[in-house]
A and B are shown apart, each in its own frame.
Chain A
C-alpha cells in the first residue's frame, strides 16, 4: 500500500477528454533537443494536461514527478526523482541511497548533484522528465539547485518544468544560448477556434464564432474560466444550454475563481459536497479509503463523474488501481471550506479515521500524518516508532524531526524511541551534546530491556564516537558491549537489520579508529553476511566499502581491490567512498609500477574527492601514499613535510597508528637521505606503533623491512638475517616489490657475511622476467647499487653492465670501495676473484670531451694542462683517441709522434710518455686506464666516457635507420646527434694530419645529420627550424651553394629580402676568395629575382 500511494507522485496523470492543441504540440516538438521547456501559467490553465497528453503521444519513457511542499527538502526531491526514474525505465538503474553510508559528514546535496550529473551526462537513453507542480517548493528550497543541475547538464532528456510561476532558477545563461523554451500564459490560453471547439465538442453548450470571440475576450483564453463558465451555464436555473452574456462577470480573472467554485459547489447534493470537503484532506484520493471513512459509498462514481465533466480533478492510474488528485486551486478552495465548516472534534475524528485506515493498510507514514493532524498523539507516536528507522536510513532526518516535534514534549521523556529518533536527526552535527544523548538513549533502552533499541542506539553511538574521536579506551568499551549483545542473539532471526548495522559500525570503529584491523574486517564480514541475508543493497555496499577501507589502511591493496571489485551495480561509481577507495587502490598500483605521472594525476583526483565529500577517514591513508609518492620521485623535502603533516593528523586524532605511519614515512625518507642514525631511531618507533601486538600485519612488516634496510648501513643488527628471513616468509608473493627488497637486502647481508652460496640461491628467487627492475622499491639507490654490483659479480644475467652504468659513477665507485673493504678480510681464491671483479668499479670514471673544447674530467674534476707532464703525453692521448681508442699498434703511435726517431729512441720515448700519461689517471691502478697488451694500446673503455664515440655510435644507428627517415624516432635521433656535436674534433690541434682526418670525418657525419634535419623541417613546414639548420650547414661549409640557395629562397618567401641578399653576397665573396669562381647560374638568377 505504501508503495502504491507514493507511486502516485511519479505516475503520469490520465488525460480527460481534451481538445487536441496541435499548435502547442508543434511548439513542444520544436523544443526537442533543448535543455528544458518551462510551462508557466496560472492555475487551471491546462499545463499538466498539455504535457501529459504530449508525452503520452511519445514513445520515449516518461519520468513524472508531482512535487509537494515536503519536496522542498532536497533529500525528498532526490528520492522522488530516483524512484520516478527507476519506475519509468523499468529497473533499478540508480540507487536511491547513495548517501546511506558515509565516511565523512553527510554532504548529501553534493552527492545528489553528482548523481544528477551522471544521470544527465552519461545516460544515453532518450526520455521525458516532467517536474509538475514546481510552485509547491518553498522559495529557499535546495531542490531548485538539483533542478538547475538537471537542466545544466542535460544532454538527451526532454525536461518539462510545470509551474504557476517562474521558479527561482538562474536561467539567464540558458536563455542567452537559446537552450530553453518558455511556454507562458499567452501561448497556453485558448484561441477562438479552440474555445469554440471546447464548448461544442466537450461541454454540450453550443456556441457560435461570435460568442467564442466574446468568451475569449472575457476569459482571456483561461481554461479554468471556460470550464467554470460551461458549468455555470449547465447549472443555470433555466436549464438552458445556451450561453447568455448576463451569466458572466465583467472580467473573469483568477480572483473570481472562488465565486465560480462556490457556484458549482452549492449546486451539488449535500452528500457530494461533504465528500468533496473531506476528500480535500488527501493529497491523493483513493476511492477505497474514502468509502471506508464513511463519507460516501459512491466515491468511485462521484469521482468519475467529476472527471468526465473536467471538474478540476485528474486521474492517476498506477497500473494497480485508479486514483485521483484535485486541481490544486480547487483543492485549496475545498480545504478552506473544510477549515471553516468542520468542527475540531469532527476534524479529529476524520483524521483519526484516516489514520486508522492507512494503518490497516500498513501505510504507517501516511497514518502518522493523519494521527498527527488529528492530535492522536499515542497512535502518531506508535507510527513514528514503526517508521523512524526508515526515515533515518533514507536520510529524511528533517522530515522525521518535523513529525516528532509535533508531539507534546513529554513524549521525549515517556518514550525512549521518540527521544532516540529525535537525537538521530541531529547525529554527528549535534556534536558531543548529541553523543551524550545517544548514550542516554542506549541506557534507557537497556533499562527498559528493549533489544532492538539497544542494538540500534549502540550502532549510532559507536558511529558518533568514531566521528567525534573518542579515546580508544572509551571506544573499546562500546565495541565490547556491542559484540556481547550481538553474541547473545547470534543464530536467531531477530532484528537482522539492526544487527547488520551494529556489526558494520563495530567494523568501522575498529578500522577507522585504528584499533584492530583484523577484528574490524571480521566484523565487516559478519555485517556482510547478514546484509546479504536480508538483501539490503545499501548495507551490502557499505560493509564492502568498510572492508576495502580496512585493507587499504593496512596496505593490503590487492585485497582492497578484490573487495571493491565485488561491489556491483552502476551506483557504485556514484558513491564517493567507493570512488575514493578506488583512487587509493589505483594510486598504490601506479606507485608499484613507478608510473609517476598517473600517480600524480590520481593523487589530485583523490584529494578532490576526499576534500569535497569530507571523507575524513580516508585522509590519513591518502597522505601516507602522497608521502610515498614524494619518496619515489626523490623529493625528500616534500616527503618529510608530508610525514610531519601525517603526524599532525595523528596528534589531532589521537591515533598511535597514524603516528606509526608518520614515523615510518619519516624513517624511510631519512634512510634515502642517508641519515641512517636518525632513520634508525624513527623506524624503531614506527615498528613499535605499527606492530603493537607483535602479530604480522602488512604495515608493521613494512616498518620491519625499512628498519632492516637501515640497519644494513648502520651495522646495528645481529639478528638482521633472521629478521629478513622472517620477512621473506611474510611477503610470499613473488610479484610484491617488498619481497624483492627483502631478497636484495638479504643478498647484501649475505655478502657482508661472506655467505656467497646463499647469494646464488637468493638470486634464483628473483623473477626471471626481470620485472622487479621496473617496480617500486623501499631500498635506497645506494643499497640498490650494492645489490646490483653483487648480483653482477655472481650472475651477470640478473643485472647487465649497462644497468650498472646507468647509476651515478661516483655512487658506483663509493659502493665498490665499500664492498672491497668488506672482502679484504679473507684472502681465499673466491675472494680474490670477487675482488678483481669489483676492482674495476672502484676506479674513477674519466669523462673526455673532444668535440669543441678538449677537456678531461676525473670524478668531476677537470685536469689542468700542467698535469699532463708535458705536451707529448697529451698528444699521445689525443692520438690514441684519434686512432679509435682501442687496439692501436704502438708502432703507429711512435711513427705519428716521433717520425724522425730511430726504433729504440722511439720505443723509449713512447714508454716514458705512456708512463706520464698513465700517471694523469692516478698512481694506483693507472695501468687499468691505458692498457698495453701485445704491443697494442687500448683505453679501458669501461672507465671512459668519450663524447665522439657516443656520437659515432649514434651516427651508425642513424645510418642503419636511414630508410625510415620519415619516421619521427629517426629525427628525434638526429636531434640527439646534433646536440652531441659541440664543435670540431680536437679543434686546437689544427695541423696534425691524423687528427684532421678524424675531424673531417666527424664533421661530414654532422653535416649529414644537419641535412636530414633540414629536410624534416621542410617537410613539416617548420620554417624557423629549416632556416636554423641551413645556417648551421653554411657556417660549417660556406661553399655549400645548395644550402645557400635554400636559404635565399626561404628568406624570399618570408619576405626577408635583405637576409637573402646577404647570404648571396657572402657566398659570392667566399667562392671568389677560396676558389676564384662565381656562383652557379641558378643562384645568380635567384639573386636577380630578389633585386
Chain B
C-alpha cells in the first residue's frame, strides 16, 4: 500500500483528502503545518507528498525545498489556489513534480497520482530527453523526463533538417517541466515554425494544460 502525506493548514481539506485517498487504497498521513509535515516525512518516508502552497509559517515552497533536500527523488505535488499559475511554475522550479489547482477535481488528482506512481516505478529519474523518429513525411519528437533546459543546443542540434514537415511533439506520462523548460519548449516551437513546419503537441498531462495555455505554448502553435 503506497503511503501519502498531505500537508494543509485547513483541517476540513485534510479530512476530505484522507477519506478519498483511503478509499482509493492509499495509506494516508496528514499534517496541519509544514513543520510537522517535515517531521512525518522523515519518520514515515511517504511515497507521495501533497502540500498546499499557501500556509502560515512554513509555506509549501519551503516544505518542498526541505523535502527535496532529504530525498531528491521524492514525489511532491503542490496544491495551488485557483488559477495561480505563477506559483505553480515557481513550485516546479523548486522541484515539484506536479501541481493541482484548488478546488481539486477528480481528473487532476487521478492524473497527478498516476504520474507520480508511474515515476516511482522507474528505478532512476528520467533525464530530460528529446528523441526523434521519422514516419514517412511525419516526425515524432518524444519529449521525456524533467524538461528544465534549452532543447535546441543539447537535444536537437540539426534543427535545419526539419523543414515543411508535420511534427508531432509527444509528451510521455513521466514528463515534467519548469520555467527554463517552458522557455526551451517555446524556443523549439518557434524555430520549427520558422522553418515552415506544422507542429502539434499531444499527451500534455491534464494538470499541465493550464500552464501550456498561460505561458503561451499553445498560442505559439497556432
Contacts and interface: CB of A to CB of B under 8 A. Distances in A.
Contacts of A649: 16
Contacts of A610: 19
Given A104-B19, A611-B19, A614-B19, A648 B25 contact: no
Contact of A652 (B25, B109, B114): B109
Contact of B20 (A615, A616, A623, A645): A616
Interface stretch (A426-434, A533-541, A707-715): A426-434
With most chain A CB atoms within 10 A of its CB, the pick from B1, B22, B104 is B22
A429 B19 contact: no
B103 interface: yes
Contacts of A429: 1, 25
A651 interface: yes
B106 A469 contact: yes
B6 to A, nearest CB: 13
B13 interface: yes
Contacts of B1: 429
Interface string B85-116: 00000000000000000111110011000100
B177 to A, nearest CB: 25
Contacts of A430: 25
Nearest to B102: A648
Contact of A431 (B19, B25, B109): B25
A467 B24 contact: yes
Interface in A1052-1072: none
Contacts of A652: 16, 20, 103-106, 109
Given A648-B104, A652-B109, A653-B106, A431 B16 contact: no
A613 to B, nearest CB: 10
Contact of A105 (B25, B105, B110): B25
A651 B20 contact: no
A104 B24 contact: no
A468 interface: yes
A1057 to B, nearest CB: 55
Given A645-B16, A648-B16, A104 B106 contact: no
Nearest to A431: B25
Interface in A80-128: 104-105
Interface in B14-54: 15-16, 18-20, 22-25
A431 B105 contact: no
Nearest to B117: A431
Contact of A616 (B23, B25, B114): B23
Contacts of B22: 104-105, 614, 616
B116 to A, nearest CB: 13
Interface string A637-671: 00001100101110111100000000000000000
With a 10 A CB-CB cut-off, give which of A430, A607, A649, A654 has the most chain B CB atoms: A649
B15 A654 contact: no
B12 interface: yes
Q: Which of A468, A469, A614, A652 has the most CB of B within 10 A?
A: A652
Interface residues of A, number: 28
A654 B19 contact: no
A944 interface: no
Interface residues of B, number: 20
A619 interface: yes
Interface string A345-388: 00000000000000000000000000000000000000000000
Contacts, number: 68
Nearest to B107: A654
Contact of B19 (A432, A619, A642, A651): A619
B25 A619 contact: no
A611 B22 CA distance: 10
Contacts of B23: 104-105, 428, 467-468, 614, 616
Interface string A384-412: 00000000000000000000000000000
Contact of A619 (B16, B102, B106): B16
Among B23, B24, B104, B106, the most chain A Cβ lie within 10 Å of the Cβ of: B23
Interface string A594-624: 0000000000000100110011100100010
Contacts of A654: 105-106
Secondary structure call for the B interface: helix
Interface in B149-192: none
A651 B103 contact: yes
A468 B104 contact: no
Nearest to B114: A432
A71 B203 CA distance: 49
Contacts of B109: 652
A647 B103 contact: yes
Nearest to B19: A616
Contacts of B16: 619, 645, 648-649, 652
Q: Which of B1, B25, B104, B105 has the most CB of A within 10 A?
A: B25
A642 B10 CA distance: 12
B143 to A, nearest CB: 25
Contacts of B103: 647-648, 651-652
Contacts of B13: 645, 648
Contacts of B114: 432
A616 B22 CA distance: 9
Contacts of A428: 23-25
A994 to B, nearest CB: 64
A653 B110 CA distance: 11
Nearest to B14: A611
A431 B24 contact: yes
A648 B108 CA distance: 13
Contacts of A648: 12-13, 16, 102-104
Nearest to B28: A614
Q: Which of B18, B24, B104 has the most CB of A within 10 A?
A: B24
Q: Output the residue of A432, A615, A647 with the most chain B CB within 10 A.
A: A432
A430 B13 CA distance: 24
Contacts of B15: 607, 611, 619
Contacts of A619: 15-16, 19
B182 to A, nearest CB: 27
Contact of A645 (B12, B19, B104): B12
B109 to A, nearest CB: 7
A610 B23 CA distance: 12
A628 to B, nearest CB: 16
A649 B102 CA distance: 11
B12 to A, nearest CB: 5
Interface in A56-90: none
Interface string A264-277: 00000000000000
Contacts of B20: 469, 616, 652-653
A642 B19 CA distance: 17
A616 B28 CA distance: 14
Nearest to B25: A429
A611 B1 CA distance: 19
Interface string A414-454: 00000000000000111110000000000000000000000
A326 B112 CA distance: 56
B24 A651 contact: no
B93 to A, nearest CB: 27
Contacts of B24: 428, 431, 467-468
Nearest to A426: B25
Contacts of A611: 15, 18-19
- Kindly list the 9 A-B residue pairs having the minimum CB-CB distance in the complex, ordered from nearest: A429-B25, A651-B103, A614-B22, A616-B19, A645-B12, A105-B22, A616-B23, A648-B103, A654-B106
13 contacts: A104-B19, A104-B23, A105-B23, A431-B25, A467-B23, A645-B12, A648-B13, A648-B103, A651-B104, A652-B20, A652-B104, A652-B105, A652-B109
Given A105-B25, A429-B1, 11 more contacts: A104-B19, A428-B23, A428-B24, A614-B19, A619-B19, A645-B13, A651-B103, A651-B106, A652-B106, A653-B106, A654-B105
Interface of B: 1, 12-13, 15-16, 18-20, 22-25, 102-106, 109-110, 114
Interface of A: 104-105, 428-432, 467-469, 607, 610-611, 614-616, 619, 623, 641-642, 645, 647-649, 651-654
